[in-house]
Every structure is written in structure tokens, then in C-alpha cells.
């Protein structure tokens, strides 16, 4: 899966990343039973993580039903079913979150947006320091498609992640779009037996940079015990004027 250059880089890195946990989420619109081009590029990220002894958990969103809404369990708000409570602990328990999405009409997929809304559902919750729940965790994104928009999609995904508390390291996005318009997608087989995009230096370099920047930032934060709880503690703003405040109803924007 990895190129010779990527393999050599993984072997040469001396930093010990063991103990870190990564959650890789694929927001492809294809049924979970079908191969996904986005998954194929996410495979590169996963292999880099695993070669550095990082525990990797992968979630294919199309295999789960996420009820619309921005509460942790939408069955408490009028919907008959919501599988988010079944998977949210896997996301919250990870030190690193990577969201992969295809581009449709110049935007991230609808499942990617639904996933971001589910992250926002926890924006009223805090960690044991009184900071917002996702403080001390890092986020990145992988984008694939056949149309322009990698940077635009990355901008929206990474903004949303940092808004709910994730730390975003340098070069935290990567992607592959190929030629504009209909054509082969990432990982498709070519006539000579190769795989589309596998030899694209720009994509492979940025994917490697992203993976290791996420690892470095996650390790620094974990070794430091997260972000210092100084000046960013939500509970310090409880002046007692609102009964039961703060609570999940009082979100980042509230």
C-alpha cells in the first residue's frame, strides 16, 4: 500500500507513538458493502498509523443511521432511531480524528456534514478539566473526487473541527481529484495494471505529512496532559445567574 519513500520514512521515524488511538471516518455515499475511493486513500493514512503502532478504529458512516439533529441522542428529540450513541464513544475516545469525504457539487458529502453536526451535538459537554470535550484531541481530513474543491472542503471540515475543540496541526488535509470532469477515481485500475493516483507525488507527500503531523501533535498534547486549563475553562463562566448553567443546551455558540 505504501510507496518505497513512505515505507522508508515510517521506518526512519524514531518517535514512539504507541498509546495513541486514531479514529478514521469515511463519509462516502456508497453503501458500506461497496468499495470506496475515499477508503482507498484513507488506507494510506491507516497504514502509516499502524506502522507506528497507533491503534486504528475505522467507521464507514453509510453503514449507520445518523438521525438529523444536533443532540447526542435524537431518539430523545422525536426520531425513532439514531445510531450515533452506538459509535460516539469510539470517536470521543480517540486522540486523532480523520474525516474522509468525497466531493459532490464542490462540497463535502451530506454524510460528512451530518457527522460534523453530531460532533457539534457534544459542544455543551466538558472534559475533566472543565474544557470543551474535544480539547486535547487533533483532527484532519482526506478528500477525494473528480472535481475541484479539495481546499474548499478541507477549509470547512477543519474549521468545524477546531470550532468544537479539536487542535488542527499544519498541513492537516490531503486529497486527490485527478482531471476535472468524469474520469477515473483514486485507486481505479489502469490499463497497465497500475492504480490511479498511487504514483501522484503531491497526494502521497501531503498524505504522509498530514499523518505524521497528526501523530506529532497528538503525542505532544497527550504527553502534556492536554491543553493547559487556563483561560479556557467553561465552568469558570458559571456565575450562578442561570439555574443549571452550564449544561448541554448552552453550546459553543450560546
For the domain made up of 4-237, give the CATH fold: Rossmann fold (3.40.50)
Q: Of 168-182, 191-205, 238-252, which has the strongest mean pLDDT?
A: 168-182
Please tell me which residue, 48 or 192, carries the higher pLDDT value. Answer: 48
What is the pLDDT, as a whole number, of residue 49? 98
- Average pLDDT score over the chain: 90
What share of the chain has pLDDT > 90, as a percent?
74
What is the pLDDT, as a whole number, of residue 246? 40
What is the pLDDT, as a whole number, of residue 243? 46
Confidence of residue 179 (pLDDT cuts 50, 70, 90): confident
The DSSP result for the chain, as a single string, is: ---HHHHHHHHH-----TT-EEEEEE--SS-TTS--HHHHHHHHHHHHHHHTT-EEEEEEGGGS---SSSSS-GGGGT-S---HHHHHHHHHT-SEEEEEEEEETTEE-HHHHHHHHHHHTTTT-B-TTSSBTTTT-EEEEEEE-SSS-HHHHHHHHHHHHHHTT-B--SS-EEEE--SSSS-PPTTPBPTTS-BTTTT-HHHHHHHHHHHHHHHHHHHHHHHTTSS--SS--GGGG--SSSTT-S-TTS-TT-
Over residues 231-237, mean pLDDT: 89
How do the domains of the chain map onto residue ranges? 4-237
What is the pLDDT, as a whole number, of residue 149? 87
What is the pLDDT, as a whole number, of residue 251? 56
Q: Is 53 exposed, middle or buried (0-12, 13-18, 19+ CB in 10 A)?
A: exposed
CA distance 109 to 95: 24
pLDDT(26) > 80: yes
Pair 213, 171: CB distance under 8 Å: yes
Name the β-bridge partners of 131: none
pLDDT in tens, 200-230: 778 889 999 999 999 999 999 999 999 999 9
Is the pTM higher than 0.75? The answer reads yes
pLDDT in tens, 65-114: 999 999 999 999 999 999 999 999 999 999 999 999 999 988 999 999 99
What is the pLDDT, as a whole number, of residue 236? 86
pLDDT(19) > 50: yes
Pair 125, 132: CB distance under 8 Å: yes
What is the pLDDT, as a whole number, of residue 51? 96
Confidence of residue 254 (pLDDT cuts 50, 70, 90): very low
Give long-range contacts, CB 8 A cutoff, 24+ apart: 219-226: 219/15, 219/17, 219/20, 221/95, 221/136, 221/137, 221/138, 221/167, 222/19, 222/20, 222/95, 222/136, 225/136, 226/127, 226/129, 226/131, 226/135, 226/136
Amino acid at each position: 500500500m505504501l510507496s518505497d519513500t513512505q515505507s522508508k520514512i515510517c521506518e526512519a521515524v524514531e518517535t514512539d507513538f504507541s498509546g495513541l488511538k486514531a479514529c478514521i471516518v469515511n463519509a462516502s455515499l456508497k453503501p458500506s458493502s461497496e468499495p470506496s475511493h475515499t477508503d482507498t486513500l484513507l488506507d494510506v493514512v491507516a497504514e502509516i498509523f499502524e506502522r507506528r503502532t497507533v491503534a486504528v478504529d475505522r467507521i464507514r458512516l453509510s453503514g449507520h443511521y445518523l438521525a438529523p439533529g444536533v443532540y447526542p441522542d435524537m431518539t430523545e428529540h422525536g426520531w425513532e432511531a439514531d445510531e450515533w450513541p452506538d459509535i460516539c464513544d469510539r470517536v470521543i475516545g480517540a486522540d486523532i480524528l480523520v474525516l474522509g469525504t468525497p466531493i459532490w457539487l464542490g462540497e463535502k458529502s451530506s454524510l460528512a456534514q451530518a457527522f460534523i453536526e453530531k460532533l457539534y451535538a457534544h459542544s455543551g459537554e466538558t472534559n475533566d478539566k472543565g474544557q470543551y470535550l474535544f480539547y486535547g484531541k487533533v483532527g484532519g481530513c482526506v478528500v477525494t473526487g473528480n472535481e475541484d474543491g479539495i481546499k474548499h472542503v478541507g477549509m470547512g471540515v477543519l474549521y468545524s473541527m477546531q470550532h468544537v475543540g479539536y487542535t488542527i496541526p499544519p498541513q492537516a488535509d490531503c486529497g486527490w481529484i485527478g482531471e476535472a470532469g468524469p474520469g477515473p477515481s483514486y485507486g481505479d485500475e489502469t490499463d497497465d495494471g497500475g492504480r490511479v493516483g498511487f504514483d501522484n507525488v503531491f497526494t502521497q507527500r501531503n498524505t504522509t505529512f498530514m499523518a505524521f503531523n497528526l501523530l506529532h501533535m497528538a503525542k505532544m498534547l497527550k504527553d502534556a496532559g492536554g491543553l493547559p486549563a487556563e483561560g479556557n475553562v467553561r465552568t469558570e463562566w458559571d456565575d450562578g445567574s442561570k439555574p443549571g448553567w452550564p449544561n448541554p443546551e448552552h453550546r459553543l455558540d450560546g
